[in-house]
Amino acid sequence: MASRLPPPPSPEEIRAATPAIAPVPPGSRPFFSVMIPTYNCAGYLRETLASVLAQDAGRDEMQIEIVDDCSTKDDPEAVVAELGRGRVVFYRNPRNLGPTQTFNVCVERARGHWVHILHGDDAVLPGLYDECRRAIAVRPDLVMVAGPLVMIDETGRWVAVIGPRGPELGGVFEDFLRVEAAEQLLQYAGTVVKREAYERVGGFCTVFGHTQDMDMWFRIGECGPVWCTHRPYGLFRVHSASDTSRQLVLGTNVHEEVIAVQMNLARLVTHGIPPPDDWRERLARRAYRNARKLHRAGSREGRLNQARWAVRLAPTPRNLWLWLRARVGALADGR
């Protein structure tokens, strides 16, 4: 029998950890706000900024702003001064807030009708903002435009295409809530959200340090239709210093996903949507694949932590064998 899983926070705890997002004061506003959170990734920020500036339609159309979470190892402000040349605003948090609260700062400072949070080590492919405009013209009731992504490594090499596959010309994701409830479907680099939707659902929940987007995209999807682009427009970078890589080694990525999924499944019930029966097995399969990948990368700690979750979610013979081998390796290391 599968092990008991960590319970999600209470509704009261979730509400207390979800900040309100105030509307933008009346006045002239750009259509897009491209908000770029950074923390010790100035080496990649040049590529990020260049990819956005290549699609810049001017100040009246697009706000471009860097939000630095008090970087300690590099100088993103110098990169902004060099590449932005007065076009890009630089803002530094008064203190280090961590990723989730920094994303909330991005939303709060965004003045555009549509907000794109683009990590300072990711980038966009040509045509993203034109595609968003096209989708919104077709369906003015959209609350989010998203789609597949290209995963890249430290050098910018394309590794894989991940995420949902949209129809040939793009279109509304008809089963979005049911799929997003139990799967990390979208990533920031390819996701643009109507600011009014943030105002309706509140900011990113600070209960989460890693899967705050999985929770957020589901809440946004509860507000209205989501458009899925027909091809990738975002570049999602995974590298050894990234938060994603650290979470994989520690296994905290699975812990947070388990909590987020349980919360989303409870929300599905209120919409009369039947939850997927196999969500534990699907998370276990991903943990199994991560364990194998970390083993090939030489991370015995990561292999063991992911294997533990695979067994906890679905104690199949394959997962138990994986965990036993990982445990033997950890004991050999004296852990």
Distance (Å, whole) CA 290 – CA 264: 23
Residue range 218-222: mean pLDDT, rounded: 97
Model confidence band, residue 295 (pLDDT cutoffs 50, 70, 90)? confident
Produce one character per residue of 54-80: b if its CB has 16 or more CB atoms within 10 Å, e if not: ebeeeeeebbbbbbbbebeebebbebb
CA angle, corner 335, sides to 3 and 318, nearest 5?
40
Pairing of β 32-38 and β 114-117: parallel
- Model's pTM, two decimal places? 0.92
pLDDT score for 333: 61
The phi and psi torsions of 170 (rounded to 5 degrees) equal 80, 160
Percent over 70 (pLDDT), the chain: 96
Q: Enumerate the domain spans of the chain.
A: 19-239, 246-332
The domain defined by 19-239 folds into: Spore Coat Polysaccharide Biosynthesis Protein SpsA; Chain A (3.90.550)
pLDDT digits (tens, 9 = 90+) for 172-188: 998 999 999 998 889 99
Question: How high is the pLDDT of residue 153?
Answer: 92
* Phi-psi region at 22: left, alpha or beta (left = phi > 0; alpha = psi -120 to 50): beta
Angle formed by the axes of helices 99-109 and 212-221, nearest 10° = 40
Contact call for residues 242 and 121 (beta carbons, < 8 A): yes
Mean pLDDT value across residues 16-39 = 97
**Share of the chain residues as helix, strand and coil, in percent rounded to the nearest 5:** 45, 15, 40
User: pLDDT (tens digit, 9 = 90+) per residue, 89-146?
Assistant: 999 999 999 999 999 999 999 999 999 999 999 999 999 999 999 999 999 999 999 9
